[in-house]
A and B are shown apart, each in its own frame.
Chain A
Amino acid sequence: MSTAPVSHRRASTLRGASLPKWSPWAIAVGSVAVAAGIGLGAGLDSKVQWGLIAAILFVLGTYAIAARVEGRRQAKDRVATSLVWVCFIVAVVPLASLIWETVKRGVKVFDVYFLTHSMGVVADTQPGGGIYHAIIGTLEQVAIATLIAVPIGVLTAIYLVEYGRGKLAKAVTFFVDVMTGIPSIVAGLFILSFWILILDMGYSGFAGSLALSILMMPVVVRSTEEMLKLVPNELREASLALGIPKWRTILKVVLPTSIGGITTGVMLAVARITGETAPVLLLVWGTSVINDNPFSDPQASLPLYIYQQYANSAGSGAAYDRAWAAALALIAFVMILNLAARGIARWKAPKTGR
């Protein structure tokens, strides 16, 4: 506590004076009214400006009134509270709009037929067709990429946090940083020249998964690393002091404690690669018919499908509708995945105070 000690306040009782609960609402109504008055008086026609003025008045008003009644520290607290609320509201508007627009435009063609049929021979400009082939492709590619990347990523993070000393750890940290900067198309190109040109394999879902796992690994490492670091040393020490081997300590104490954060990190990574278009275009290549086998022949994928429907639509409404519906499906897919991961994390994680 570096600020002024509590005793500086000249309160006669143990509780300082405090504003009634309804006061923020009152100040809000007041500032909106004043802002409207200023707006009308100055002839400002933009409602956004009215809103801005109201917001500024609200913050200033809160600070002034609270500083008077409750003291400066309480006033700062109230301003911080309102700023945090403002942050939340500011962020909610575009994000809500994104979801709203996707749902609104996506439901037009979103039905069972759409989910269970591929594009087949339906031209991009015609209505009809579906995303079944793309769903299969995305599921398989992402699953394979995750299977490759998560063990490697988590183990690397464990190495860095629990064992990592010396040059190797430094080098790995450095290159993980470098890897986060790989443009996805570059990862795609690398696999293209390695897998397709040097090893002479064809386009396939698996080739795409390889590129996706390259993109996924650094994200998993970085977030896992951060979460492992947050596990208090006392826990490790307590476990080690009981004579439990280090590897069991890691598996039984360190990982469960941070499993929630690790899952979030993995989800973020999965989310990142689920939406990748460029490497998929290069390696998986896209097709309009169903291909269940990720190890041979081109497959489709949802983001690629969305991109192609958008780009090759020749301006036809049917293609835009399909693009939005596929976007909706993609979001729903990620949502289900997310729910599952959260369930696992909750059930695995030790009970915490919060």
Chain B
Amino acid sequence: MDISTQNAEAPPPTPQPSAAVLKSASRGATRPGDRIFLGLSRGSGIFLLAIMAAIAAFLTYRAALAISKDHGNFLTTFEWNTSLEPATFGIAVLAFGTVVSALIAMVLAVPVAVGIALFITHYAPRRLGGTIAYVIDLLAAVPSIVYGLWGALVLVPHMDGLFGWLDHYFGWTGIFEWQGGAPRSMLTVGILLAIMILPIITNVSREVFRQVPQMHEEAALALGATRWEVIRMSVLPFGRSGVISASMLGLGRALGETMAVATVLSPTFDINASLLDPGGGTFAQNIASKFSEATPLGQDALIASGLVLFVITLLVNGAARVIINRRKEYSGANA
């Protein structure tokens, strides 16, 4: 912020009609201060773009190296053997596991997170709300390796009961069938990921709910709306784009989570309809597990799988963008 002082003595601008001010300001480059500032911010954007382009080029190059040597089908092979001749590997199982675990996490975490955010901003007594908000902030900062430790040593031993119960009552669906192995399946990972991303989604949602113009809420209250109606009609529509964006942040972490998944999941190169039995792995977990012993080709193959994770994240984010843009008229957002 050094520039601010440089231009502090700038002469007062000549008065202009406000429409013209807005217009010229939106062009942004009429005054030296504006020009410098625009240059700086645009420069940052371009810098970011350059990094990304470099990473993308690097990834694509190494991924192409690997895929050209793949003896199986990169998309459909249920195997990951990169150190053998011929190397055979495919991402089907990883894509399945990544998507399933992230989905479970989102289904569990988003409603609860929105609930907690509402609790903090609209239900809890103010001081309690502040304390809870602080604690949740803190939890968002707990590193994933700690969640991994906790998951492996505390959560997993407590999952037997739930698994038995699900198998007993819902085993007939096929999704909740349990063969009685260690409870370290997709469902456990999904639950752990949900716990991990809960604070993130809560934090951002809370911040968004707090920004709801108070007049909207007061207007609704004045019309005799109950607290729930206020939330449903003024808070949620206003916060929707923020909540979606928060969920995307959470989903990003769930999709890319490495250490916690690696310590908790029992990955197998198989797809299993049941969420309770071992089956599938995730991209990030597979990269972390295989990387340290990988041959150069193995590393390239893992990078290729990282590229697929990229694409998946991109699709998800793209979908979120579309939703956010469509909802913009409700949100009061300016961009």
Interface residues of A (CB under 8 A from B): 1-3, 6, 46, 48-49, 73-74, 76-77, 80-81, 83-88, 90-91, 94-95, 97-99, 101-102, 151-153, 155-156, 158-164, 168-169, 171-173, 175-187, 189-190, 193-194, 214, 217, 219, 221-223, 225-233, 236-237, 240-241, 243, 245-251, 260-261, 264-265, 267-268, 270-272, 274-278, 302-303, 306-307, 310, 323-324, 327, 330-331, 334-335, 337-338, 342, 353-354
B34-A88 in contact (CB<8A) = no
Nearest opposing residue in chain B for A3, CB measure:
B229
A77-B229 in contact (CB<8A) = yes
12 pairs, CB–CB < 8 Å, chain A vs chain B: A88-B119, A97-B154, A156-B45, A173-B321, A178-B56, A183-B287, A189-B303, A190-B59, A268-B203, A277-B259, A278-B288, A335-B138
Complex interface: chain B residues within 8 A of A171 (CB): 49
Contact of A179 with B138 at beta-carbon distance under 8 Å, contacts A98-B150, A185-B306, A226-B245 already known: no
Query: Which of A87, A155, A272 is the one whose CB lies under 8 Å from B44?
Result: A155
Contact of A95 with B198 at beta-carbon distance under 8 Å, contacts A168-B45, A243-B15 already known: yes
A1-B245 in contact (CB<8A) = no
CA distance A151 to B41 in the complex (A): 9
Query: Which of A46, A228, A246, A302 is the one whose CB lies under 8 Å from B25?
Result: A246
Nearest opposing residue in chain B for A261, CB measure:
B207
CB-CB nearest 9 A-B residue pairs: A275-B143, A181-B313, A87-B115, A271-B141, A159-B41, A247-B37, A77-B226, A155-B44, A177-B317
B59-A186 in contact (CB<8A) = yes
Interface residues of B (CB under 8 A from A): 1, 3-4, 7, 10, 12-13, 15-16, 18, 21-22, 25, 28, 31, 33-34, 36-38, 40-49, 51-56, 58-59, 111-116, 118-119, 123-124, 132, 134-150, 153-155, 161-162, 165, 195, 198-200, 202-204, 207-208, 210-211, 213-214, 220, 223-229, 231, 233, 241-242, 245, 248-249, 252-253, 255-256, 258-259, 263, 283-284, 287-288, 291, 299, 303, 306, 309-310, 312-314, 317-318, 321, 331-335
From residue A260, how far is it (CB to closest CB) to chain B in Å?
7
Nearest opposing residue in chain A for B169, CB measure:
A49
A240-B21 in contact (CB<8A) = yes
CA distance A158 to B334 in the complex (A): 12
Excluding A217-B51, A222-B248, A251-B4, 15 further A-B contacts by CB distance (< 8 Å) are A76-B228, A77-B227, A88-B119, A152-B48, A168-B49, A169-B45, A185-B287, A189-B299, A190-B55, A245-B13, A246-B34, A250-B37, A277-B144, A277-B259, A303-B259
Nearest opposing residue in chain A for B154, CB measure:
A101
Nearest opposing residue in chain A for B287, CB measure:
A185
CA distance A281 to B243 in the complex (A): 34
B165-A334 in contact (CB<8A) = no
The SS class assigned to the B binding surface is helix
Complex interface: chain B residues within 8 A of A97 (CB): 150, 154
CA distance A80 to B335 in the complex (A): 32
B203-A264 in contact (CB<8A) = yes
Complex interface: chain A residues within 8 A of B115 (CB): 83-84, 86-88, 91
A227-B207 in contact (CB<8A) = yes
Nearest opposing residue in chain A for B165, CB measure:
A46
Nearest opposing residue in chain A for B155, CB measure:
A94
A155-B335 in contact (CB<8A) = no
Query: Which of A80, A163, A221, A306 is the one whose CB lies under 8 Å from B228?
Result: A80
Nearest opposing residue in chain B for A281, CB measure:
B292
A175-B138 in contact (CB<8A) = no
A229-B334 in contact (CB<8A) = yes
Query: Which of A153, A243, A270, A302 is the one whose CB lies under 8 Å from B21?
Result: A243
From residue B141, how far is it (CB to closest CB) to chain A in Å?
3
B146-A226 in contact (CB<8A) = no
CA distance A214 to B306 in the complex (A): 16
Contact of A246 with B49 at beta-carbon distance under 8 Å, contacts A186-B55, A231-B334, A270-B141 already known: no
Nearest opposing residue in chain A for B284, CB measure:
A183
Query: Which of A46, A152, A310 is the one whose CB lies under 8 Å from B161?
Result: A46
CA distance A187 to B58 in the complex (A): 11
From residue A80, how far is it (CB to closest CB) to chain B in Å?
4
CA distance A178 to B145 in the complex (A): 24
CA distance A182 to B25 in the complex (A): 35
Query: Which of A158, A163, A245 is the one whose CB lies under 8 Å from B10?
Result: A245
Complex interface: chain A residues within 8 A of B228 (CB): 76-77, 80-81
A160-B335 in contact (CB<8A) = yes
B226-A73 in contact (CB<8A) = yes
